[in-house]
Amino acid sequence: MSGPLAKLCPEREEDAVTETPRDRLARWRACAVMHVDMDMFYVGVELLRAPHLRGRSVIVAAAGNRSVVLSASYEARAFGVRSGMPLARARALCPGAVLLEPHRAAYEEYSRRVMAMFAELTDLVEQISVDEAFLDVSGAVRRLGPPVRMARQLRARVHAELGLTASVGIGVNKTVAKIASTRSKPDGLLLVQPEDTTAFLAGLPVSALWGVGRRTADALTGAGLRSVGDIAATPVPQLARVVGPAAGHHLHELANGRDPRPVVPVREEKSVGAEETFAEDVEDPRVLRETLLRLSHRTASRLRRQGLRARRVGLKLRYADFTTLSRSRTLAQPITSAHDLLEHASGLLDELGERPQSVRLLGVRAERLEPAADALQLSLDGREEEWGAAEQAMDRVHARFGADRLGPARLLRPVPRDPGADSKGVDSPRRGAK
């Protein structure tokens, strides 16, 4: 890294000659929050399978123009392609891009391995997504040295063992570390010393602050506040008139480099779910029911894999005009089976009444999660336990033989009939027969 930013925020550690060991440890601990963000993670994992595509525009997304971009290489991003963008729009911006189907199981495995490396540095790891986490390494400096050295060694290890790259920001708190990692991308490392924090933030656009979306940014710039330094210098009452009292105080604190939130080592997942955008808008109720069944099984499988149960079920429905409805219901007993997820999701769909137009997207979510071991109260009729046991057995079959060998009859494809079976007096097997 070079230029003014590097001079302000050097990558190397600089020990004062007259500094005592105790003072040195105190200085390292005062600036020991890391934000580690894997670079184009999904694309990076896919390129391990297809190294000949390195240096080319690559988009990871499910096939079909109605799907969205999961990740894009930096070559594709140069054309304006971004995660979350409709695939049709991405193809229009970058028609020469190579489209790769996602392999979610591989992403989960590489994420697990990356997080395990983080855990070897410190117990204070707060995973915030599949490919990024905060680390508080203040307790490891006596053993491993300054945080910037740890970050440099961590990045080298990730690349050597996994073939992936990571960008790391280091600062006095989570906000500074997060912004620093963003400013160091791709494949970079940026240390913001405590005395440089205010100057580092001041020149950034207001959108750089965590939580400032398009609407808030428009409101701030409309009031003449274009940089983080402008926010830092504006009295809180004046900010409150622009974005509201709570947001005004919050942004003023962040702009001045103050963020008291600790790195929380266990981030409890608030919900798990699955959703599907249809290739063509759907009106047929039978298609919607079958989709709910499929989504319920995908969601329930994730619940069981993570050892969780849900006390609330949510439904998401998006119409052809992009109007989106969300409904949920709280349950008397926690559930983990697809059968019960489907029952409640179907009930929520029925409660919406007659649909005014065709459906573009349907989703199911399991919410208010708790460890399955803590959910000791059994259902009165034992039905949840019976369905749960049956689906756990199905999980074991899927793990050994694949997901297409066993499942709800409505979701399995019939096996083509053997034309000679009747003459032999043998019935052809039919997966999916009721």
Q: Rounded to whole angstroms, how far apart are CA atoms 227 and 209?
A: 10
4-28 burial: b if 16+ Cβ within 10 Å, else e? ebeeebbbebeeeeeeeeeebeebb
Is-catalytic flag, 120? Answer: no
Using the Cα atoms of residue 288, residue 289, residue 294 and residue 299 in order, give the sign of their dihedral: positive
Which one from 46, 75, 126, 132 is the annotated catalytic residue? 132
Q: Do residues 39 and 165 touch, judged by C-beta distance below 8 A?
A: yes
15 is an annotated ligand-binding site residue? no
Helix H, strand E, coil C: the string for 162-182 is HCCCEEEEEECCHHHHHHHHH
* Distance separating alpha carbons of residues 49 and 43, to the nearest angstrom: 10
SS (H, E, C) 242-281: HHCHHHHHHHHHHHCCCCCCCCCCCCCCCEEEEEEEEEEE
Q: Is 404 annotated as a binding residue?
A: no
Residues 6+ apart with CB under 8 A from 163: 44, 48
The DSSP symbol for 59 reads E
Residue 415 has which token pair?
């096996």
Annotated binding-site members: 37, 131
Q: Active-site residue numbers?
A: 132
Annotated binding-site members for Mg(2+): 37, 131
